[in-house]
Structures are given as C-alpha cells and as structure tokens.
C-alpha cells in the first residue's frame, strides 16, 4: 500500500513529456497490428514516475479503438512496467469486465531507459462504484483465484507506486507480511529520516504484534488461503466504466496474500473508501466483524498511530517503552 499524505500535491505532465499528434514511438507501434492506423496520441496525466497518454487508432476494418499508454520514467522503469503488466494480466484473467485488458510491456525505441505499459483504454467516470457492487467485485477476485504453488508472493516484483514489493514466495503469511512491514519501515526511515518513535515501535510490531495477530490464523491446522489481491485498492485506482457502469480496477500492486490485506487502504479517513466497504465485504463473505479482524486491518494499514495502539494492547508494560 502507498502512503499518500494529506498535503500531497498531484504531479503534472512535464512540458518535455507532453505531446499531441500522430507520431507514436516505434517500440509501442511494434506491439500493435501492422495495419493499425494512428489517428491521434495525446498525453493527459502524470505521476512522479510515469506519464500517461491515450492512443486513438483505426483498425483495418474501419473500427476505431483506443489504448492507454503509460511510459515509466523512473530508474526501475522496466521492472515497474513489467510488474504492472503481469499483475494486471493476472487480475484480468479473474475479472475481465473490471480490469482494462493488458496488451504489452516494452521499451521505447527513442529512449531505452524508458519502458511502457499498454492496455485497452476505458472511458471512466472519476467516481467510486456503489459500496455493494465494489465489495462484490473484490470478493469475486478473492474467491476465484488461488496461488499457483500454495505460497504467498508473486512470480515477479510488483510496485505500489514507486515502492518495490519483495514478492519472493513464502510458506506463511506471517513471514511474508513481516518482511513487507520491515521493508516499509526502512523506506519510511530513508524518506523521512530518523524517527525515535518508529525505532521503538518497530521491534515490538515485528516480534510481538504480528505473531500475536497472524500466527493463530496459521496454527493448529488452520491456514490462510493465499488469494490474488490488487494490493493498492485506494480510490485513485478505482473508477466506474462510462459505458457499462461496472467498477474498474487498475494500477495494481498484485500479489497472492491474505484477503484481508486488501482492506488496508479502506481504513484511511483521507480516502473515499471506508469501513463501510469492509463491513459490506464481510457481509457478502457471511462473516461477522471481530475485534481481532479489526486489529489486523489496523496492522495492515501501517499507520503509526495504529501501531502505537496495537503495541499498547498486545505488549505488556515491561516490554513497551514508547
């Protein structure tokens, strides 16, 4: 999950990357049918590590077809483009009506340092789907997918924004999530600098809270089923298809994990998702919300105030010194 602070300012398209016209990089052109005519290419949005464009084309039979092109400009451009393609392809196989169809990942001919992800273009409304419909799509994803080897992870590195997730396969969810939490804490230190509070909380979260909340789910014959999750399902990666009115999910940080991990962004007050989405998912699953389930949700959200609460709850006074 990517942390987006309240004061976050969206990126704008750099002048050097903005383009409107009929030219298309040969690397992108090569993955389209040879008889496809390029009608128009237009850059329309950007992040701090990629620029997105719409490609309008005319097929040999006269049909008009549009594509979404994301060009990664970051240092790890190839890994990011391939990660988005592989993750989107896995999700598309499960939810073909709710995921823009992935076409290809490749390298720009004019600049080999830049790599691209190409998919079908969906005209989308910038709004959240209805709570029940959204929760139902997420539920379907989890119910119809399973890990190819019964382990937690993914066959390739995927990215939450520009943050690479170590998706090396693990036998247990506790092992996988502990590694993810440790990596997230290290990134926080690199970005924000030393933090005494985080330094005190970290060992308690890793050695006490995570085992307390996750290990019982994989003990005494119980096991968490690793299912395919989107991995970064905040409102910025969700919309409504303008033609079908169905929910559309995109820009995943895909991995096989605990289905509840999907709820992590739904806890944050700054997002358009909320606790109501968690409750609706659990209703569809026919499971009552529990105190420990809510605490796992707090753990997965990776917010420092929630970490403090969990440490106070699950660590004895002698151990806790934050």
CATH number at residue 257: 3.90.1200.10
Q: Which two tokens stand for residue 279?
A: 């409750």
Decide: 108 and 72 in contact? Cβ < 8 Å.
Answer: no
For residues 82 and 167, membership in a common domain is answered with no
**pTM score over 0.85:** yes
Please report the beta strands in 214-267, taking only residues with DSSP state E, as ranges in sequence order: 227-229, 238-241, 247-249, 255-257
Within a domain: 9: no
pLDDT tens per residue, range 253-290:
999 999 999 999 998 888 999 999 999 999 999 999 99
For residues 298 and 167, membership in a common domain is answered with yes
Within a domain: 4: no
For residues 37 and 68, membership in a common domain is answered with yes
Backbone conformation region of residue 79, classed left if phi is above 0, alpha if psi is from -120 to 50, else beta: alpha
Decide: 263 and 281 in contact? Cβ < 8 Å.
Answer: yes
Decide: 35 and 59 in contact? Cβ < 8 Å.
Answer: yes
Within a domain: 296: yes
Cα–Cα separations (whole angstroms), residue 267 to 23, 44, 301: 43, 30, 7
pLDDT tens per residue, range 163-217:
999 999 999 999 999 999 999 999 999 888 888 999 999 999 999 999 999 999 9
Burial 158-177 (b: 16+ CB within 10 A, else e): bbbbbbbbebebbebbbbbb
For residues 115 and 200, membership in a common domain is answered with no
Structural domain that includes position 105: 20-121
Indicate the number of domains in the chain. Answer: 2
């Amino acid at each position: 999950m990517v942390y987006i602070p309240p004061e976050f300012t969206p990126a704008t398209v750099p002048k050097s990357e903005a383009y409107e016209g009929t030219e298309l990089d040969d690397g992108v052109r090569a993955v389209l049918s040879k008889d496809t005519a390029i009608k128009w290419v237009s850059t329309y949005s950007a992040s701090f590590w990629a620029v997105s464009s719409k490609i309008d084309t005319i097929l040999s039979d006269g049909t008009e077809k549009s594509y979404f092109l994301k060009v990664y400009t970051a240092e790890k451009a190839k890994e990011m483009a391939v990660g988005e393609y592989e993750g989107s392809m896995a999700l598309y196989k499960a939810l073909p009506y709710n995921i823009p169809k992935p076409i290809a990942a490749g390298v720009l001919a004019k600049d080999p340092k830049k790599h691209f992800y190409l998919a079908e273009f969906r005209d989308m409304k910038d709004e959240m789907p209805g709570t029940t419909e959204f929760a139902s799509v997420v539920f379907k994803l989890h119910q119809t997918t399973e890990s190819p080897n019964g382990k937690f992870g993914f066959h390739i590195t995927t990215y939450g924004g520009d943050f690479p997730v170590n998706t090396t396969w693990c036998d247990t969810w506790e092992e996988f999530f502990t590694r993810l939490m440790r990596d997230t804490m290290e990134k926080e230190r690199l970005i924000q600098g030393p933090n005494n509070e985080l330094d005190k909380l970290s060992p308690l979260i890793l050695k006490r809270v995570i085992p307390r909340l996750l290990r019982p789910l994989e003990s005494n014959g119980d096991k968490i089923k690793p299912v395919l999750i989107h991995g970064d399902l905040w409102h910025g990666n969700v919309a409504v298809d303008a033609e079908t009115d169905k929910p559309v999910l995109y820009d995943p940080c895909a991995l096989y994990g605990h289905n509840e991990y999907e709820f992590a962004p739904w806890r944050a007050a700054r997002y358009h998702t909320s606790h109501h989405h968690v409750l609706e998912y659990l209703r569809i699953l026919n499971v009552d919300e529990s105190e420990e389930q809510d605490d796992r949700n707090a753990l997965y959200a990776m917010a420092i105030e929630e970490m403090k609460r969990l440490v106070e709850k699950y660590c004895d006074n002698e151990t806790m010194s934050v």
